[in-house]
């Protein structure tokens, strides 16, 4: 069922709660692909009822980012969700989420601001304010849907770490379930932004997963020095690749490492054809 308003979602969820049914939420920005579907499948396995939110959240995009051109495919998304047996697709307008006429800035709107150490690194460094926008919309969705479980992908590793931190720090009564990265057979991590890439661009984009796989295999062979592990990337790069960052940090709190260990995660952000792509890998599964 497609729902556009907060009140209608609340009504449906209240009736489920009266029957003691568990509720799962899968927050998305739409343009659904197999990565999103893996979260939805996990939610279906775990919960009695599943809500998928489909909302391109304006406040998590910077002024020069791709908010306007972000793919919007609600009809196709609905079909995919119907196939998976999703109970509600919640697709609010920006006015429904943020009150018509309200200026979307933190001098007029209450924002949730995650800790500096969690945002002043990796994607947060170039996407200033991005995680404030993410946490704000996710907490709003938690308050609207009041899910027992919420499902996030490891694809956006910094995001899920920050959401877990928010839930813990603010005592939000929801259990966060992290799901593995879904990749194409080539190794390319699925992303709604892959739609911006040409066929050649998709080939050039394989460099992200190649660099990460190689770092993991060097770690498996005993290399732990982070600088040495990061240096192995250079052999894969050419002028089609515009590197933003490659870091190896703690997978729970994003702290930098000098020596990698079994709790380390390697993360990369890189532009191909001016499309910003991210990927990551645990050094030990």
> Are the beta carbons of 50 and 81 closer than 8 angstroms?
no
- Residue from 24, 35, 114, 129 binding ligand AMP (CB under 6 A): 35
Interaction between residue 197 and ligand AMP (CB under 6 A): no
Interaction between residue 152 and ligand AMP (CB under 6 A): yes
- Residue from 50, 80, 86, 189 binding ligand AMP (CB under 6 A): 189
Smallest distance from the beta carbon of 239 to ligand AMP, in angstroms? 27
Interaction between residue 81 and ligand AMP (CB under 6 A): no
CA distance 202 to 131: 27
Interaction between residue 123 and ligand AMP (CB under 6 A): no
Q: Is 130 a catalytic residue?
A: no
> Are the beta carbons of 186 and 180 closer than 8 angstroms?
no
- Residue from 190, 211, 254, 266 binding ligand AMP (CB under 6 A): 190
CA distance 116 to 145: 28
Smallest distance from the beta carbon of 64 to ligand AMP, in angstroms? 19
Smallest distance from the beta carbon of 222 to ligand AMP, in angstroms? 30
- In the region spanning residues 8 to 27, those forming contacts with ligand AMP, defined by CB under 6 A, are none
E strand segments, 147-194: 149-153, 175-179
- Cβ proximity to ligand AMP, 90 vs 226, nearer residue: 90
- Residue from 13, 24, 25, 36 binding ligand AMP (CB under 6 A): 36
Residue with tokens 């993991």: 216
Interaction between residue 158 and ligand AMP (CB under 6 A): no
Interaction between residue 272 and ligand AMP (CB under 6 A): no
Conformation bin of residue 99: beta by default, left when phi > 0, alpha when psi is -120 to 50 = left
- Residue from 89, 112, 174, 182 binding ligand AMP (CB under 6 A): 182
How many residues make contact with ligand AMP (CB under 6 A)?
A: 17
Interaction between residue 147 and ligand AMP (CB under 6 A): no
Given the residues 4, 33, 36, 130, select the one marked as catalytic: 36
Strands 49-54 vs 23-28: parallel, antiparallel or unpaired: parallel
Bridge partner list, 3 = 90
- Residue from 88, 122, 141, 179 binding ligand AMP (CB under 6 A): 179
E strand segments, the chain: 2-3, 23-28, 49-54, 88-90, 149-153, 175-179, 241-250, 264-272, 275-282
Strands 241-250 vs 264-272: parallel, antiparallel or unpaired: antiparallel
- Residue from 77, 87, 132, 156 binding ligand AMP (CB under 6 A): 156
Smallest distance from the beta carbon of 207 to ligand AMP, in angstroms? 17
CA distance 123 to 247: 11
Question: Which backbone phi and psi does 242 adopt, to 5 degrees?
Answer: -115, 95
> Are the beta carbons of 14 and 5 closer than 8 angstroms?
no
- Cβ proximity to ligand AMP, 146 vs 192, nearer residue: 192
Neighbours of 65 (CB within 10 A): 14
Interaction between residue 53 and ligand AMP (CB under 6 A): no
Tokens of 74: 């609600």
Applying CB under 6 A, the residues found at the interface with ligand AMP are 28-29, 35-36, 38-39, 152-153, 155-156, 179, 181-182, 189-192
Instruction: Write out the catalytic residue numbers.
Output: 36
């Amino acid at each position: 069922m497609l729902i556009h308003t907060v009140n209608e979602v609340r009504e449906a969820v209240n009736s489920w709660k009266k029957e003691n049914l568990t509720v799962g939420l899968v927050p998305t920005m739409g343009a659904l692909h197999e990565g999103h579907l893996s979260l939805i499948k996990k939610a279906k396995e775990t919960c009695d009822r599943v809500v998928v939110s489909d909302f391109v959240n304006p406040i998590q995009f910077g002024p020069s980012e791709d908010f306007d051109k972000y793919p919007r495919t609600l009809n196709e998304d609905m079909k995919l969700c119907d196939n998976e047996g999703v109970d509600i697709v919640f697709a609010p307008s920006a006015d429904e989420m943020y009150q018509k006429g309200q200026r979307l800035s933190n001098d007029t709107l209450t924002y949730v601001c995650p800790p500096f150490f969690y945002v002043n690194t990796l994607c947060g460094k170039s996407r200033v304010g991005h995680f404030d926008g993410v946490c704000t919309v996710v907490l709003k969705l938690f308050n609207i849907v009041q899910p027992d479980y919420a499902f996030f992908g490891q694809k956006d590793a910094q995001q899920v770490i920050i959401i877990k931190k928010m839930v813990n720090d603010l005592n939000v009564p929801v259990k966060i379930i992290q799901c593995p990265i879904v990749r194409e057979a080539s190794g390319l991590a699925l992303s709604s932004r892959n739609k911006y890439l040409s066929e050649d661009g998709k080939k050039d984009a394989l460099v992200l997963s190649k660099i990460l796989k190689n770092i993991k295999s060097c770690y498996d062979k005993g290399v732990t020095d982070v600088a040495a592990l990061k240096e192995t990337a250079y052999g894969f790069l050419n002028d089609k690749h515009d590197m933003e960052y490659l870091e190896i940090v703690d997978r729970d709190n994003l702290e930098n490492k000098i020596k990698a260990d079994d709790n380390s995660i390697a993360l990369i952000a890189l532009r191909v054809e001016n499309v910003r792509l991210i990927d990551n890998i645990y050094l030990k599964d």
